[in-house]
Amino acid sequence: MFGIFKNKNKKVKNSKQRKKNVNKQTKTDDKDKMSTGEVLQALNQMQKDLDKLKTAVTGGVVADHSGQNDELIEKSMNEIKERNSEVNKSENEKTIEGVFDGQAMIGSDGQVYDVPANYASKSKLVEGDILKLTINNLGAFVYKQIKPIERIRKTGELYQDPQSLQFYAMADGKKWRLLSASVTYYKGETGDEVVFLIPAEGGSRWAAVENIVKK
């Protein structure tokens, strides 16, 4: 009889131990889970790091963020600060002003916000343009171009690096990076004529595609 109770107690202990292990594993799994937003943010950062690495390996001349371009970004950022319209919050939304750097928006809060390539292409955004980002209470990001920088139009030749696959506009012995979304929209290929926009003053690494003429 005592043997029966002993076996029952052993079964209860084993059951409790299994339950404890399951609860422990569940907590670990919950901790390890990442939200969709966190995953996308991590993937975007990985892509940016890969792009930088490709440019460095292939000897790209427009990879660094130094020189006149920094002055261009800083000038637009100072304009935002002078208007005291950096970051505004309300119950339903948050608005942040920032400067387009060719791919992303450098916010006045010091953060870098990814700008959808399709929006940048359609709006023909140029480095130095001032943007306003609105983040609503549902987490949706809405961009608006509020002050375009003065720009000039140039014509050059379209080129794609065979290793990095980065597109460039080449003119006057210089080259500017182009968003792939802009080039593919016009079905551009190496050797085509590209009409592009760059800041009127100051250097820039990126250009906005205005049109592509097939060769």
Distances from the Cα of 80 to the Cα of 65, 129, 193, 204, 215, angstroms: 20, 11, 36, 20, 42
List beta partners, residue 113: 105
Give yes or no: residues 142 and 74 share one domain. Answer: yes
Q: Is residue 47 part of a domain?
A: no
Give yes or no: residues 71 and 116 share one domain. Answer: yes
Q: Is residue 185 part of a domain?
A: yes
Query: Domain range spanning residue 23?
Result: 2-31
- Tokens 């983040």 correspond to 135
Q: Which of 133, 171, 166, 191 is nearest to 47 (CA)?
A: 166
pTM for the structure as a whole: 0.65
Count: domains in the chain: 3
Q: What is the CATH number of the domain that holds 198?
A: 2.40.50.140
Ordered per-residue pLDDT tens for the chain, 215 residues:
545 445 545 554 555 555 555 455 544 444 445 555 565 556 556 655 665 454 444 333 333 333 456 788 888 888 887 776 657 777 788 999 999 999 999 998 889 999 999 999 999 999 999 999 999 888 889 999 999 999 999 999 999 999 999 999 999 999 999 999 999 999 999 999 999 999 998 789 999 999 999 98
Q: Is residue 82 part of a domain?
A: yes
